[in-house]
Each structure stands twice: as structure tokens, then as C-alpha cells.
Amino acid sequence: MERNRQNFLSLLDNEKVSVFCAYDQDYNIFRANSFKQNLFSHLGFEGILECVFMDQIHSDLVQNYDTNLKDLTCDGLITKKTNTALCVLSADCLPLLLYHEDGIIAALHSGRKGSFENILKKCVDKIILENPNLDKTKFHLFIMPSICWKNYEISGDILNFSQQNFKDFLSDNRLDLKSLVKFQAKNLNINHISDSEICSFENKDFFSYRRNKTQKRFASVIYLKD
């Protein structure tokens, strides 16, 4: 079941898991902290007991989240905890939300650096290492609102590096990170891929750093239900 309203976008909402993007306010104020409360109840999402926000550093570092994890400095979190919302802050970078049908979720901040370093593979490898009998075909990837290739111009050293290493995802000086992530997902045998198909630069309902240098961020969220 999908739900769409003026202040949030839901890509999946069933009896097991919810995947949505909240853009009704600046969620950057919650950065690098966990909250024993439901910060999204006003959007109609019930059952959340904890909301976790990373201190995102544009890395490929992925950690397991449980009550013992105190340092949220990373760009990816994995958990099996129910009623725990993993949140990604963004304003053009790719928020990637991952769900495995056996009851595992992950939230990834995959900006240019994270995508180049394949944070998605780091996450999946970590999950498989700790759960070696998982059926890899039961992963679902959600690509939340983020900048589209035609609005993502690069130059200088970044362009040179991209031409040398990721030329298949370049069109002149425009970089297609979404296509890169989808390519990486296919190489991981992730065939269930849902793209919100929303460009944060073009759609002014969403914060966009490239559009106006804003420091505000919307939140992409995934949580398991018990």
C-alpha cells in the first residue's frame, strides 16, 4: 500500500515495514542523536518507539544499531530492531533504504563519495556476513528523493576522476548517481528496486543544497513493525 500526502511520500507501508520520506520540516535539528519518541506520529505513522539519526560524514562506514551503539558517526545503519526508525538526512544526496524480508533494514546516506565507494555493497556484505543463510533475492532497495543527473554538474578533479572511473555514468559533465547505484544493486543481485523518481533540485517541496545552499534537510525513514 502506498500513501502520498502533501508533507510526506510513502513508498511502502504494510504489516511488516514502512518506508517513507518526510519533508514537512527541517529534520537536520535531530542530527547525530536517537530519540525515544515517535517524531513522525503527526504524519500518521504509528508504532515507532525510537528514531535514530546519523552524524553523516560522507563515508562508506556502516554500523549495526542497537542500544549499545553510542557513536552515530557513520553513513549507514543496520538493525533488526522493530519499531526503530532509521533516518537519513539529505538535500540532494541519495538516501538509500534497504529491506530484507527476513526482518532486517538499513538506512544509507549515499552521496557522491558514498556512491563511488559503493556503500551499498559494504552494507549488503556486512548483512550477509552476519546472516550467511539469507536469501539474497529477498532484498528490496528504495531510492528516495535526490538530485537527478541533468541537474548534477561536476567539474575539476571530480570530473576528471569520474571520467577515469565512472565514465558510463557521465553525460558530458553531468553525473548520474542513481544509475550508478542501480548498477551496483544489480551486481549484488538486488532486483527489487523502487525509485521515487523525484529530483530534489527540481521539486521545490524538497530541500536542495544545489538549488539554494540550504542547510536544511528532509528525512528518509524505514522501520520494522512488530
| Mean pLDDT within 99-113 | 97
Strand runs labelled E in the chain? 4-5, 8-13, 17-22, 33-35, 50-53, 62-64, 76-79, 84-90, 94-100, 104-110, 139-143, 170-171, 174-175, 192-195, 218-224
- How big is the CA angle at 101 (ends 122 and 1), to the nearest 5 degrees? 115
Give pLDDT tens digits for 52-82.
Answer: 999 999 999 999 999 789 899 999 999 999 9
Residue type (1 letter), 7: N
Q: How many CB atoms lie within 10 A of CB 162?
A: 19
- Ordered by start, the domain boundaries in the chain are 4-148+193-224
The CATH number assigned to the domain with range 4-148+193-224 reads: 3.60.140.10
Percentage of the residues of the chain whose pLDDT score is greater than 90 = 95
Strand runs labelled E in 123-186? 139-143, 170-171, 174-175
Listed in sequence order, the residues at least 6 apart from 19 whose beta carbon sits closer than 8 Å to its beta carbon are 10, 11, 12, 13, 97, 99, 142, 221, 222
| Mean pLDDT within 1-6 | 52
pTM: 0.96
Q: With 70 as the cut, is the pLDDT of residue 170 above it? A: yes
**DSSP run (H or E) holding 209:** helix 209-212
